[in-house]
Homo-oligomer: A and B are copies of this chain.
Amino acid sequence: MTADYRILEPGDIPGYLRERGMFDGNPFADSDIEVHEVSDGNLNRVFIATPRDGRSLAVKQALPWVRVAGPSWPMSPTRATAEARAYRRVAAVAPETIPVVHDYDAENYALTMENLSDLRVLRTVLNEGGGFGGASTAVGIFVARLAFATSDFGMSSAERKALIAESVNPELCKITEDLILAEPYVGHEHNHWHESVADLAAAYRDDRELRTEIADLRHTFMAGAQSLVHGDLHTGSIMTGDRDGTEVVRIFDPEFSFVGPVGFDLGLYWGNVIVAETRARILDGPADHTHEIARTWQAFESEFRALWPTRLDTFFDDAYLDRFLTRVWTDALGYAGAEIIRRIVGFAHLSDLDSLPDPGPATRRALLIGRELVIHRADLPDPRAVRKLIDQY
């Protein structure tokens, strides 16, 4: 397999950025621009270009295959279009929560963006004993504003239909449908687990109650076209840091974006919060992650309620808003549980657990909590109830 568009190499980047008009009025020579590749996700290539005395930029290009696998695992580069679309929508309503996007080159599936190299991946910060800072609040605001703006509340009926049509993302949705919402519950060659939870891994595969609830969450993921979602909002998709004394949080990599259930993003994030919390608790370190779910929900709910009076479709009344938010909450808990489980007995695991001296106890605890969240999601009315559940383990 070969690409039928231009695959960028480090040496191409200065010329490419000039072509895209990035250095207008500031005509650096190629030799004035230092380029290095920092690709560390599974799918794409990322270059950082730093002009002498100029603003550095990141160029992210989607290859027509999975980067870490090569051409033998083809994947449509249109995921970059999904990513650009999501960034554009968020930029209109919550620009402070994402990187600045300077350019999207649809022909070559390349985004030119703010360089985030001065920030650190939230998961790494947490693994080193750091705290969430304002990340949970940023996630709540990000999800509320993106969800509202792209829901039937915030958009006209006709625009919504166009959004649904243009945002289908078959290949990346299929990854989620398989890796998160099916494989961990059946025998699959992708699955693996720490030996200490082999019993639970086997029990979950035979767990009919769990299977039915996951089937329900799976169908909601497939057919619940509520709003544009990020689609992969875990603690590895968030950068945090400090710029001139101000805390900065940037949510990135929304290439799994599509029109789906609002609760999915909150749930994925919370699954990762709970794993981080479990790690911190086992290590008995200084970090206290106890309130992150409440913080996220509080930011999400208050933001969504603040936007509600601006809805275009005023047929939806306040009582329906309450009902809708309850469903989002319940869905989110289910996806949180599914995320925890798949990160322990599925294909892709988490450094939060794997890097522990003895991953056993934390892994077991998180896995048990994951099931409880899926099964009892409708019986947990608020963050306090979730807190209580988690504290039992």
Contacts and interface: CB of A to CB of B under 8 A. Distances in A.
Interface of A: 151-152, 157-158, 160-162, 164-166, 168-171, 173-174, 177, 181-182, 185-186, 208, 211-212, 214-216, 218-219, 222-226, 315-317, 319-320, 323-324
B317 A160 contact: no
B182 A157 contact: no
Given A181-B315, A218-B316, 12 more contacts: A152-B219, A152-B223, A158-B171, A162-B168, A164-B165, A165-B165, A185-B315, A186-B315, A211-B319, A215-B316, A216-B323, A219-B316
12 contacts: A157-B170, A157-B177, A158-B171, A160-B222, A161-B173, A162-B170, A164-B168, A181-B315, A214-B315, A215-B315, A215-B320, A225-B225
Give the 7 A-B CB pairs with smallest separation, nearest first. Answer: A215-B320, A161-B168, A161-B170, A212-B319, A158-B170, A165-B165, A182-B315
Contact of A320 (B177, B186, B212): B212
Contacts of A162: 168, 170
A90 to B, nearest CB: 20
Contacts of A165: 164-166, 168
A273 to B, nearest CB: 27
A205 to B, nearest CB: 12
Given A164-B168, A222-B152, A157 B173 contact: yes
B161 A164 contact: no
A171 to B, nearest CB: 8
A86 B24 CA distance: 52
Contacts of A152: 219, 222-223
A162 B214 CA distance: 24
A173 B152 CA distance: 13
Contact of A164 (B151, B164, B214, B323): B164
A175 to B, nearest CB: 10
Nearest to A209: B319
A324 B157 contact: no
A174 B186 contact: no
B208 A319 contact: yes
Contacts of A317: 208, 211-212, 215
